[in-house]
C-alpha cells in the first residue's frame, strides 16, 4: 500500500459531540503567511454568527468550502484534510501541498443549539439553531463576488465538501441549494431520510451538480456493516442521543444514487460498479462520471487519522484532499 505523504491527524466525527476535537484555535487575523500560503482566521459574514478560516494559495483559481463533522471545529476540518498539522502546542501547515495547487479552502464553524456544544449544521439530521442553507449560500455568493476577504479574489468555481454531519449538510445543499456550488463531495455523510423519495423535504434540485460520495463498508457510526443493502441507515444510538439531533435515520448512499441522483441527473440506469484495489473499494460511476460513489470495504467512519483502524486514506492509499480536488477539477472545469 502506498505511504501517504503526511502525518496522521485527529479525527472529527460524531464521536466528538461532547468534546470537540482539533488543535488549539487560531487567533483572529493572519495566522501564517508564506510565499505559498496565507491563513486567515475567525472572519465573519454579515448577518451570520459563524466564524470562518481561510487557507489561500498564491494564485487561487478555485475554492472548496469544507464542513466539519458534528461536535467538531473548523480547525479540525483543516486537520482532517492534512492542511493543518498539530504537534502538541505547535501548529504548522502543509505549505508544500498548497504551493502546487491553485485551490483555496474555506472552513466555517458550525453552530450549536443554545446551551449545548453540539456544533453542527442544520441538515435534517441535526439542528444548529441557524439557517445553514442561507449561510452557506451567502458564503458562496461572497466568494464568487470577491467580497469575503481582500486576500481571496473573486472565484468562479466553488465546491462544497464535508465529513460526517458536514457531509450530510453537503447532501442537503445538493438538493436545496445546488446552484450555489459547482461540485459536491461528501465523506461518511449520506442524506437524511427527510430528503428521500416521497419524504417531507424530498430532494428535487433545481439543477443537478457533480457529486462524489465516500462510505465505509464497516462504518460503526452509520452502522453500515451488515446493513449495506438496507434502504435506511441509522446513526449509532449512543451518539444520536445527544443535544442537537433531530432524526438519526439516513438514506443508504447507493439507494439515493439509484432513486434520486441518477434519475434526476441523466435519467440513466446505474452501471455495474468497478472493484478496485483487490477488493479494497468499489466504485459506482454514472452520468458520464458526474455521479460517483465509492465504498471502501473495510473502512470505518474516519477519513484519516488514528481514531479508526481502517480509514478512507489508509485503505485506498490516497489523501482525501487529492481525491476531492481532482474530482472538482475534472467535473467542474
Nearest to 81 by CA among 139, 22, 155, 19: 22
Q: What is the pLDDT of residues 272-327, one digit of tens each?
A: 999 999 999 999 999 999 999 999 999 999 999 999 999 999 999 999 999 999 99
Nearest to 125 by CA among 34, 226, 229, 242: 242
* pLDDT-based confidence at residue 205 (cuts at 50, 70, 90): very high
Would you state the pLDDT for residue 243?
87
Whether 5 maps to a domain, the answer reads no
Q: What is the pLDDT of residues 21-34, one digit of tens each?
A: 445 555 566 667 78
Q: Which domain holds residue 285?
A: 14-331
Nearest to 303 by CA among 223, 181, 211, 221: 221
Whether 66 maps to a domain, the answer reads yes
Whether 1 maps to a domain, the answer reads no
H/E segment holding residue 78: helix 74-80
Whether 127 maps to a domain, the answer reads yes
Residue 6: pLDDT above 60? no
**CA 244, CA 265: separation in Å to the nearest integer?**
32
Q: Which CATH number is 174's domain given?
A: 3.40.50.1820
Whether 7 maps to a domain, the answer reads no
Q: What is the pLDDT of residues 36-81, one digit of tens each?
A: 899 999 999 999 999 999 999 999 999 999 999 999 999 999 999 9
Whether 89 maps to a domain, the answer reads yes
**CA 104, CA 61: separation in Å to the nearest integer?**
8
pTM over 0.95: no
DSSP 8-class letter at 192: B
Amino acid at each position: 500500500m502506498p505511504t501517504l505523504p503526511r502525518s496522521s491527524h485527529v479525527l472529527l466525527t460524531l464521536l466528538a459531540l461532547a468534546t470537540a476535537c482539533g488543535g488549539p484555535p487560531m487567533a483572529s487575523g493572519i495566522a501564517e503567511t508564506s510565499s505559498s500560503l496565507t491563513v486567515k482566521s475567525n472572519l465573519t459574514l454579515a448577518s451570520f454568527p459563524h466564524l470562518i478560516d481561510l487557507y489561500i494559495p498564491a494564485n487561487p483559481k478555485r475554492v472548496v468550502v469544507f464542513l466539519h463533522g458534528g461536535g467538531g471545529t473548523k480547525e479540525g476540518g483543516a486537520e482532517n484534510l492534512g492542511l493543518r498539522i498539530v504537534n502538541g502546542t505547535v501548529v504548522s501547515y502543509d505549505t508544500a501541498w498548497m504551493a502546487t495547487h491553485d485551490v483555496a479552502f474555506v472552513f466555517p464553524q458550525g453552530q450549536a443549539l443554545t446551551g449545548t456544544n453540539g456544533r453542527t449544521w442544520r441538515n435534517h439530521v441535526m439542528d444548529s439553531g441557524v439557517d445553514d442553507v442561507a449561510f452557506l449560500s451567502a458564503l458562496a455568493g461572497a466568494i464568487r463576488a470577491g467580497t469575503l476577504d481582500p486576500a481571496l479574489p473573486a472565484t468562479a468555481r466553488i465546491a462544497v465538501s464535508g465529513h460526517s454531519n458536514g457531509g450530510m449538510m453537503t447532501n442537503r445543499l445538493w438538493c436545496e441549494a445546488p446552484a450555489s456550488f459547482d461540485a459536491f463531495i461528501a465523506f461518511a455523510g449520506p442524506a437524511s431520510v427527510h430528503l428521500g423519495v416521497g419524504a417531507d423535504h424530498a430532494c428535487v434540485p433545481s439543477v443537478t451538480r457533480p457529486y462524489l460520495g465516500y462510505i465505509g463498508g464497516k462504518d460503526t457510526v452509520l452502522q453500515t456493516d451488515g446493513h449495506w443493502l438496507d434502504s435506511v441507515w441509522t446513526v449509532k444510538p449512543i451518539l444520536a442521543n445527544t443535544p442537537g439531533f433531530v432524526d438519526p435515520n439516513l438514506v443508504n448512499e447507493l439507494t439515493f444514487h439509484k432513486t434520486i441522483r441518477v434519475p434526476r441527473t441523466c435519467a440513466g440506469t446505474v452501471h455495474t460498479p468497478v472493484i478496485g484495489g483487490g477488493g479494497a473499494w468499489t466504485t459506482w460511476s454514472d452520468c458520464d462520471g458526474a455521479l460517483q460513489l465509492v465504498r471502501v470495504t473495510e473502512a470505518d467512519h474516519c477519513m484519516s487519522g488514528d481514531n479508526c483502524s481502517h480509514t478512507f486514506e489508509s485503505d485506498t492509499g490516497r489523501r482525501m484532499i487529492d481525491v476531492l480536488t481532482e474530482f472538482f477539477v475534472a467535473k467542474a472545469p
